[in-house]
Structure 1
Amino acid sequence: MKVVEEEQLITVMDGPWSTTDLIREIVESGTQEDPFYVMDLGEVVARYHRWKELMPRVEPFYAVKCNDDKLLVSTLAALGTGFDCASKAEIELVTSIGVAPDRIIFANPAKMASHIRFASAVGVDVMTFDSETELMKIKQYMPHAQLVIRIRCDAASAQCPLGIKFGCDPVTEAPRLLKLAAVFGLDVIGVSFHVGSGASETDVYARAIALSRALFLVGHNVGHKAMRILDIGGGFPGGTHTSIQEVSAVINSALEEHFPDRSVRVIAEPGRYFAAAAYTLAAMVHAKREVTSKECADETHTMYFINDGVYGSFNCVLYDHQHVVAEPLNDNGSVPAPCSVWGPTCDGLDCVLPATRLPSLAIGDWLIFRDMGAYTLPVASPFNGFPVPTVRPVVDARLACILKELRPLSASQFAAGRVVESPALGTSRPASRAASPCRAVFVECALK
């Protein structure tokens, strides 16, 4: 029996609304006890618009590993982004929604042979490499591949350094690998780098672009006459209060200096930039206990237990080195006091916040966590039997008018009204008024 995958329904919001108000509405319906996300599609669209405004020459290829939520991927595909895939499954996901193979780069420098064969079968020809053994593997399984050499150029500080695992030395190793690829009869068409996920240094992009320019010349001299792609990787911030304005200025300047020829295609691999701020997590306090402070016997410390933890959404605390912030959904006016926040499992490692300050919370109160769309859902597991949070997508009515017309999205995915019941119950409460008519001017500005 074939299992038919259900479309994710997108709640169309009419009139003024906020993510916090919507979470409060869902919670107050009395049917929600499990943790859940509210995903704002408008945030994704706004960030795409901002990217194109600040770096019109750089094509975003979304890093699917950051968050493989099919609706997020579909929305980005509808807007026109490309995709950075690292595995067979990610390529399957992206091609299943109709994305053309030439909008995908297989950007894993250490690929499994079966994944290379799959990429070849579906027409994904562009892929990265950074070693001699990878060249030999590609020569055996996909000699017609269009190769991009990945070099190492690390930011002085990054949330997740990647150079310790991937990227050849641009001075000592890369020239030799370019010559070897030519000997093997393989086509190298470009250079890529990744300064580190969540990089806090901007000048590193200028250094890496300069190194790439030098390798374009080396590649041309050893026989790779079709060097035409520069992949500047990821590392772009994605939090609500962050901006890519400074880093975009550095990148634009470096491109003008080293790659003024517009025949070179420039792509990037943003992940958290598109995903992080679009997702807000809501989790409920289901238990608490008072403990005596180790430093002072007269002070107490409250341990709050919530229904999501480090084996679920907050794996980002362990693996992505994120610093999450808990906000009470409702302000009860009490003075913030020392406390800690713990996940629901029976593992002592399951600590979300070892030390913070929150107002006094009762069992049944809710906490919200913003900027939770990056490196959370893809790694979450139902360890100890606790469910992975569901995602409730929402979009402003004016923006919905145009998004529903863009493939691979479809009009059937957009539901008028505010869904406040549990998705498992399959019920909803209608909005208090009809959706407002389309306003083309608003949408045109958002999608330029």
Structure 2
Amino acid sequence: MSSRSLYLKAVSCNLCEMASGVPEIHFYENELNIRRAIEQFDLQNLDPALNICDLSSLERKLRLWQKLLPRIKPHYAVKCNDDPVVVKFLADLGTGFDCASKNELKLVLGLGVSPERIIFAHPCRPVSHLKYAKEQMVVNGTVDNEYEVYKLHKHYPNSNLIVRFKSAAKEALCPLRDKYGCDAETDAAALLLLAKALDLKVTGTSFHVGSGCSEVEAYDRAIEKAENIFKCGELIGHDMDLMDIGGGFPGTDDALFENIADAVNTSLQLRFPDERVQIIAEPGRFFVETAYTLICKIHAKREVRNKAGKLDTLMYFINAGIFGAFADYFYYPEEVNPELYLEDAETLPKFKSVIWGPSCDSLDKISGEFLLPNLNVGDLLGFRNMGAYKMPIASPFNGFEVPETRFFRKK
């Protein structure tokens, strides 16, 4: 057998028993080579774009988390990427889970995760979702206003209330200050008192500085607020032993993550030295962002010339766009750098290029202008770091399929 065949020998995987069948996992040695990986598939005859997911990247991320934040138990934010293979892989590694809906609970519980490993981290849940959580004995859930406290008193009085408060980072891709969280100084005490009057248990606090946080100091500000809420809760008579520091951890910048981890550890040692207080977090993009590489095919091109007839811009139309695999870019534009899988690509002359998605919508444009060689229909473009907040919101708008996914793992 050739080395290439050994490199990516496909084997059956028992990660999960899904109705649609068991996904195939392709194994590699040493390091996943994207160029060699895509050679395994007949992309010329594959209409949708293709995600290549490196499951071993999730394992490396968990080791990094455990090294830098040993006290904090990660509860993976399912909304970030709810592919059952990804969720099952993390479940087998022992992570907890942050679920926001009945369907996310069904997914995680259906993969054999015990309810004790789940936090129902949505402050405003429909009654039917609360009833399902009660049936499944998922007791930990967040709350941030008096109406939800009364709802819990009526529909799930034996749940554990975790008071969520606002503490937003100054720099984040997705700020959350406007939608969820009570005011830590003015509202939290009132919720604690109301819960006590209704004989409900408040067991902790939670916050979320915002997805894609780049402000290290944001966590210390929030942990200080949490300390004050703990003190208030203890005075009222609540037995509080859990703090959820939310998400926001970077997926691609390990140096920034290390800085955040240092700040969090220092703050916890100062404000929550008692190890009896359990600390959890809700990382999403931290785990999955770098695990995915999207492979797109050019299915059409167009040359735009100036009045003198000289080539001005090359337009490329690919099989993924902002209604599909790039859906989050419509809301939070990020810089993208397409990779080429051509021989001597770096030495070829470059032209101003625009990349369009496949739909008829004129907004379906991959942000930015690029300098690319004169490519042909059928050539491939790769986009790294595509694992977070993309596939769950991708849609087959205009009838174009969302990407398929192939899974890889180190031997």
Give the TM-score taking structure 1 as reference length: 0.84
* Match in the other structure for 1:401: none
Secondary structure (helix, strand or coil) at the match of 2:41 reads helix
Asked if the contact 1:286–1:305 (Cα under 8 Å) also holds between the matched residues in 2, the reply is yes
Q: How far did 1:24 drift?
A: 4.0
Matched, 1:196 2:202: no
* Match in the other structure for 2:11: none
Asked if the contact 2:335–2:368 (Cα under 8 Å) also holds between the matched residues in 1, the reply is no
* Match in the other structure for 1:271: 284
Aligned match for 1:319, one of 303, 308, 331: 331
Give distance in 2, aligned partners of 1:90 and 1:321.
Answer: 27
Give distance in 2, aligned partners of 1:68 and 1:352.
Answer: 24
Provide the alpha-carbon RMSD of the alignment. Answer: 1.8
* Match in the other structure for 1:215: 229
Asked if the contact 1:159–1:321 (Cα under 8 Å) also holds between the matched residues in 2, the reply is no
Give distance in 2, aligned partners of 1:92 and 1:140.
Answer: 23
Q: How far did 1:360 drift?
A: 1.5
Asked if the contact 2:141–2:160 (Cα under 8 Å) also holds between the matched residues in 1, the reply is yes
Letter in structure 1 aligned against 2:19: V
Secondary structure (helix, strand or coil) at the match of 2:237 reads coil
Matched, 1:249 2:262: yes
Deviates more, 1:263-272 or 1:312-321: 312-321
* Match in the other structure for 2:25: 10
Q: How far did 1:271 drift?
A: 0.2
Identity of aligned residues (%): 42
Give distance in 2, aligned partners of 1:170 and 1:341.
Answer: 45
Asked if the contact 1:240–1:277 (Cα under 8 Å) also holds between the matched residues in 2, the reply is no
Q: How far did 1:325 drift?
A: 2.1
Secondary structure (helix, strand or coil) at the match of 1:276 reads helix
Asked if the contact 2:299–2:318 (Cα under 8 Å) also holds between the matched residues in 1, the reply is yes
State the Cα deviation string for residues 101-128 of structure 1 (Å, max 9, x = none): 0000000011111100110000101000
* Match in the other structure for 2:400: 386
Give distance in 1, aligned partners of 2:85 and 2:206.
Answer: 28
Asked if the contact 1:151–1:191 (Cα under 8 Å) also holds between the matched residues in 2, the reply is yes
Q: Describe the shift of the 1:298–1:92 C-alpha distance in structure 2 as closer, same or farther (beyond 3 A).
A: same
Unpaired runs of 5+ residues, structure 1, are 398-448
State the Cα deviation string for residues 157-200 of structure 1 (Å, max 9, x = none): 10000111111110011111111111111110001000000011
Secondary structure (helix, strand or coil) at the match of 2:407 reads strand
* Match in the other structure for 2:146: 132
Q: Describe the shift of the 1:79–1:256 C-alpha distance in structure 2 as closer, same or farther (beyond 3 A).
A: same
Give distance in 2, aligned partners of 1:242 and 1:323.
Answer: 19
Give distance in 1, aligned partners of 2:302 and 2:124.
Answer: 47
Give distance in 1, aligned partners of 2:204 and 2:253.
Answer: 33
Give distance in 2, aligned partners of 1:94 and 1:293.
Answer: 56
Asked if the contact 1:150–1:167 (Cα under 8 Å) also holds between the matched residues in 2, the reply is yes
Give distance in 2, aligned partners of 1:203 and 1:68.
Answer: 30
Give distance in 1, aligned partners of 2:44 and 2:311.
Answer: 35
State the Cα deviation string for residues 202-227 of structure 1 (Å, max 9, x = none): 11101100110010010111121x10
Aligned residues: 392
Q: How far did 1:315 drift?
A: 0.1
Asked if the contact 1:240–1:371 (Cα under 8 Å) also holds between the matched residues in 2, the reply is no
Asked if the contact 2:48–2:400 (Cα under 8 Å) also holds between the matched residues in 1, the reply is no
Q: How far did 1:269 drift?
A: 0.2
Aligned ranges for residues 48-197 of structure 1 at < 5 Å? Answer: 48-197=62-211
Asked if the contact 1:24–1:329 (Cα under 8 Å) also holds between the matched residues in 2, the reply is no
Aligned ranges for residues 378-417 of structure 1 at < 5 Å? Answer: 378-397=392-411
Secondary structure (helix, strand or coil) at the match of 1:68 reads coil
State the Cα deviation string for residues 201-259 of structure 1 (Å, max 9, x = none): 011101100110010010111121x1000100000000266641110000000000000
Q: How far did 1:19 drift?
A: 2.3
Secondary structure (helix, strand or coil) at the match of 1:195 reads coil
Q: How far did 1:298 drift?
A: 5.2
Aligned match for 1:290, one of 298, 303, 319: 303
Q: How far did 1:17 drift?
A: 4.4
Asked if the contact 1:301–1:338 (Cα under 8 Å) also holds between the matched residues in 2, the reply is yes
Give distance in 2, aligned partners of 1:392 and 1:35.
Answer: 11
Secondary structure (helix, strand or coil) at the match of 1:362 reads coil
